[in-house]
Structure 1
Amino acid sequence: MMQDIDPVKKKHSVAVHYMRLLFDYLQRKNYPVSQFLAEINLAPDLFDRPNDRVDFQTFNQACHLLQDKFKQPNLGITLGQLVTTGHLGPHGFALMTCANAREVMQQNIHYSALTIDAGSNIFERHGKEYIRYWKSNLSGDQPLGKLQDELHQASYVTLSRQLFNRQDLSPLWVSFQHE
């Protein structure tokens, strides 16, 4: 018998393959991944199981630890510029099948929770423009925070450039709830 999950008590999570984005950053900083995993109390063998997930709060705290450790106030943007479809696992494979921007938007709506379910993509069309929102799924409308918001917005731009082999692609404007 399946239990109903109270949405207020739902734990949000991140796919272990997405954590590899942090490892790539650490390698660029010549900082041992094993040391970092010890600092955040995660066993290295967790990353040998590609279908496992990490609690979102653990992922978020790991991001903030990196931000503090390397004194990089805009770490979310930096991480977003490093992201590849490989960091997204099955979600990334779905994006690689897209022929145009509309399909990328649709695949992001359907599959982004495979990577991270603490937020979701929402797209609105206004004339010829599409507006992308990264919306928190945390209970009580709790915000994801500056670092996560910047990470996901920068990731979307980076992935769009990669998928369409167009480094000149840029949003017309970007807006955040923070400065």
Structure 2
Amino acid sequence: MHAHTETLLAYWETRRNGRPAPARADIVPRDLSNLLSWLFILERADADHHVFRLAGTGLCQLYRRELREQNFLDLWRGFDRHHVRALIESALAAPAPATATATAYALDGQTIEAELALLPLRGPSGQADRVLGLYQPLSALRGLQDRPVVRQKLTGLQPPAREIYTPVALRPLAAVSFELVANDR
């Protein structure tokens, strides 16, 4: 894990203060001044729309466009989009941090490696419906030769770990029944 990711996780943990997740209001940008360029905040509109409410200048420059009000999931394609969606949804449901690694591609095929941290935040309703994120490049940006990122490919996922970040009060799960079905019919 990159040192900046560890710094953000430690900050999130202190702001959590024993609660399942800190509130958005508990996050003070000046506390994270060294990370601001690569930080983002997403707001969950629904499972398929996690909209950028804030996107750091480094992240916007990487894509050569303003990301605010854009759907974070639109940065991903195919199965990667489904996996990232599931990762965000599980981080919010747990609530607990999740991370991913990806390769980012410029139009000419040049790449950089990146690590993403996704940390749940509570919105005004008290529910975890926001994500504090970090897009941490792991390789030199000069590898893109000043070209914008046009697509990303997941290379790893680290889903939320409940045993590490145990919520104060766990909600009981509804009873689930499974019907066994043979696949060889």
Q: TM-score, normalised by structure 1?
A: 0.28
Bigger CA radius of gyration: 2
More helix by share: 1
Scaled by the length of structure 2, what TM-score is found? 0.27
**Which has a greater percent of strand?**
2
